[in-house]
């Protein structure tokens, strides 16, 4: 069935409401728009289902949410876990409460109890709730840091991590089998409540989550000594982080927390930023202004679903420095591992630091420096969660810290997704600890570079929207796969990894060995002089991403090498456009 036939079906089928049909009738003269909305179904990427809100199979709407939930319900029934229930959370985006409600009622209609949060909650709390309640799965309605017109649907399994094989393919297979929209179940809310299949959750889960965060504190003594002196500026970027981040800081004893008022309240329009991404400089404009007014030690911003944290830290000269996700992740990894060693006298023999393949090689150096294992996984925090589950099931491996370059990390194993609330807490704790030593977080960053090496990592993203954009992204990947570079920015390619073909090719010898990781459309080049380049299509946005890293002899040298590498990458991209 082509897109025009699917479009006509939506207009004719009495299953779809009149508001949806009116929206579709309004575009009847725009064939390009009809094609964009119906040429495909939204598919699960690294973060699940994500798309622009609107009517159509390639859009986020109540029908697409119901169908996805019906597929999930069918899979839960197939693996005989209906009795465990499903936890549901949502963020501040447009239609988030409505989508969460539709998912809950679809589950209830399938005889599966839905535990739905009373109001918006962070992604990591949903991950925690799945485990805490013993649920079979979890659903989170969020599009993370995407622009306001987007929303999404993340699915978690019983371990609290986002779905990985075989569950991801199993669920999607069930969704794809639903061809008749009329077979998707739903029911009345009052009936669901009366049947015991719809339960509202809130404060009890909040309290249990906060208790787990507090267990991760290493230096309460430092917080008691400097918590009242440390000045912290925080912004939830109109999302879910405001209440939990402020609560944990207050309960631990951080007395000077200044919230960016213009960005404090939930707002799906995200009026102060073009898109609510803590990676973007604009997200910190208001926070830095406030920081300078109050002379803050650090500035923190969480994305709308509070799983990612952006950071600015002040040096002794009063200048604020931007910490990338690689930098803040390594700063926290170094703090957590070094202080765990100092407190306990040693580290577990099977202690492990986990990172994704596009994350800085500084993590490798830190792991080597402390004599702990370094495990590398595919992009997506769910693969870090998968490793933690593997440790638990095998009894081999002790999780010390895990992070990815995209501003996400996890301390502890109470949840299985990245947690910006625990990261906020830990960075403030680290700031208090270093303050007791007469140091700033920037001092700690420089000391870490001096100890392990001046690594610098960056990313170039090329946005290519629509059908033509998807085709162009595939062309870029095919070109690099068929004609891999032999040199990039003056650095020889030493080996080429193709995660789609499961091969690592040593250029000098021609030797080929497997990657050891699941199939993924990713290319990675190990370069001379500790440099590297990785290319992958985004799993959440219409982009192809070029990640790269260098190692210098100083901050200045690393900056210079990174700039040269970035220019070479752009030249390579332009040659393929």
Query: What domains are there in the chain, each with its CATH number?
Result: 40-201 (3.40.120.10), 210-452 (3.40.120.10), 456-576 (3.30.310.50)
The predicted pLDDT at position 507 comes to: 93
The reply to whether 144 belongs to the active site is yes
Residue 311's beta-bridge partner residues?
300, 323
| The pair of three-digit structure tokens given for residue 473, joined into one six-digit string | 């992204």
Question: Sign of the C-alpha dihedral, residues 153, 500, 387, 342?
Answer: negative
Residue 468 half-sphere exposure toward CB, CA atoms < 13 A: 2
Q: Kindly report the number of other CB atoms within 10 A of residue 19's CB atom.
A: 9
pLDDT at 388: 98
- Rounded to two decimals, the pTM is 0.94
Three-state SS for 227?
coil
The predicted pLDDT at position 43 comes to 79
Single out the catalytic residue among 144, 328, 520, 562: 144
pLDDT computed for residue 577 by the predictor: 73
pLDDT at 145: 86
d(CA 53, CA 59): 6
**Tokens in use for 223?**
């917080």
What pLDDT is attached to residue 462?
A: 85
In tens, the pLDDT along 121-165 reads: 999 999 999 999 999 999 999 998 889 999 999 999 999 999 998
**pLDDT value, residue 464:** 78
Task: Decide: 120 and 90 in contact? Cβ < 8 Å.
Answer: yes
- State yes or no: cis peptide before 166, omega within 30 of 0: yes
Tell me how far the alpha carbon of residue 561 is from its chain's centroid: 28
- Which regions in the chain score pLDDT beneath 50? none
* Cα distance between residue 158 and residue 398, in whole Å: 20
Residue-level pLDDT at 473: 86
Contacts of 544 (CB under 8 A, 6+ apart): 461, 462, 464, 473, 476, 477, 535, 536, 537, 538
pLDDT in tens, 460-478: 988 877 777 778 888 899 9
Q: Give the whole-angstrom CA distance, residue 279 versus residue 283.
A: 8
The pLDDT value recorded for residue 539 is: 67
Enumerate residues 6+ apart whose C-beta is below 8 A from 333. Answer: 353, 363, 366, 400, 401, 403, 409
pLDDT at 463: 83
How far does CA 229 lie from the centroid of its chain? 32
pLDDT of residue 46: 52
Q: Which of 523, 418, 546 is nearest to 128 (CA)?
A: 418
**How far does Cα 509 stand from its chain's mean position?**
38
Task: List CB contacts of 18: < 8 A, sequence separation 6 or more.
Answer: none
Task: Provide the pairing of β-strand 351-356 with 398-404.
Answer: parallel
């Amino acid at each position: 069935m082509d897109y025009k036939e699917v479009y006509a079906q939506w207009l004719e089928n009495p299953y779809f409401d009149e508001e949806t049909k009116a929206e579709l009738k309004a575009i009847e003269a725009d064939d390009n728009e009809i094609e964009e909305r119906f040429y495909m179904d939204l598919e699960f990427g690294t973060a699940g289902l994500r798309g622009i809100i609107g009517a159509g199979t390639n859009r986020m709407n109540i029908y697409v949410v119901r169908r996805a939930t019906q597929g999930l319900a069918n899979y839960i029934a197939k693996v005989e876990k209906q009795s465990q229930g499903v936890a549901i959370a949502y963020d501040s985006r447009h239609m988030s409460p409505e989508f969460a409600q539709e998912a809950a009622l679809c589950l209830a209609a399938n005889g599966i109890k839905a535990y739905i949060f009373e109001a918006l909650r962070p992604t990591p709390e949903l991950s925690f709730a799945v485990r805490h309640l013993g649920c079979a799965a979890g659903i989170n309605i969020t599009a993370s840091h995407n622009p306001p017109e987007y929303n999404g649907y993340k699915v978690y399994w019983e371990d609290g991590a986002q779905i990985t094989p075989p569950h991801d393919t199993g669920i999607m297979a069930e969704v794809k089998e639903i061809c008749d929209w009329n077979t998707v179940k739903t029911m009345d809310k009052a009936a669901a409540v009366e049947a015991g299949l719809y339960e509202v959750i809130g404060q009890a889960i909040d309290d249990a989550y906060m208790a787990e965060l507090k267990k991760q504190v290493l230096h309460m003594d430092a917080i008691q000594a400097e918590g009242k002196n440390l000045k912290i500026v925080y912004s939830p970027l109109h999302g879910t982080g405001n209440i939990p981040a402020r609560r944990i800081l207050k309960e631990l004893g951080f007395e000077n927390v200044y919230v960016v008022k213009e960005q404090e309240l939930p707002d799906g329009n995200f009026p102060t930023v073009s898109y609510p991404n803590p990676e973007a400089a604009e997200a910190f404009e208001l926070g830095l202004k406030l920081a300078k007014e109050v002379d803050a030690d650090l500035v923190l911003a969480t994305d709308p679903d509070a799983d990612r944290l952006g950071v600015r830290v002040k040096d002794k000269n009063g200048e604020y420095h931007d910490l990338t996700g690689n930098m803040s992740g390594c700063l926290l990894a170094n703090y957590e591992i070094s202080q765990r060693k100092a407190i306990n006298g040693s580290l577990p023999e099977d202690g492990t630091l986990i990172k994704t393949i596009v994350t800085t090689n500084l993590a490798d150096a830190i792991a080597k420096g402390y004599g702990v294992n370094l495990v590398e996984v595919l992009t997506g925090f769910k693969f870090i969660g998968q490793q933690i589950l593997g440790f638990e099931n095998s009894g081999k491996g002790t999780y010390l810290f895990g992070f990815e370059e995209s501003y996400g990390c996890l301390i502890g194993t109470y949840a299985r997704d990245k947690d910006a609330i625990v990261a906020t807490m830990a960075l403030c704790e680290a700031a208090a600890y270093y303050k007791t030593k007469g140091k700033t977080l920037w001092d700690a960053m420089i000391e870490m570079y001096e100890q392990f090496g001046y690594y610098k990592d960056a990313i170039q993203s090329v946005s290519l929207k629509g059908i033509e954009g998807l085709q162009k992204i595939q062309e870029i990947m095919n070109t690099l796969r068929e004609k891999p570079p032999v040199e990039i920015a003056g650095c020889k390619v030493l080996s080429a990894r193709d995660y789609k073909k499961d091969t690592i090719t040593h250029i000098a010898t021609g030797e080929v060995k497997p990657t050891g990781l699941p199939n993924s459309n990713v290319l990675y080049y190990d370069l001379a002089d500790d440099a590297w380049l990785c290319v992958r299509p985004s799993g959440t946005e219409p982009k192809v991403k070029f990640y790269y890293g260098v190692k210098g002899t100083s901050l200045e040298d690393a900056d210079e090498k990174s700039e040269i590498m970035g220019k070479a990458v752009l030249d390579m991209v332009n040659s393929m456009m």
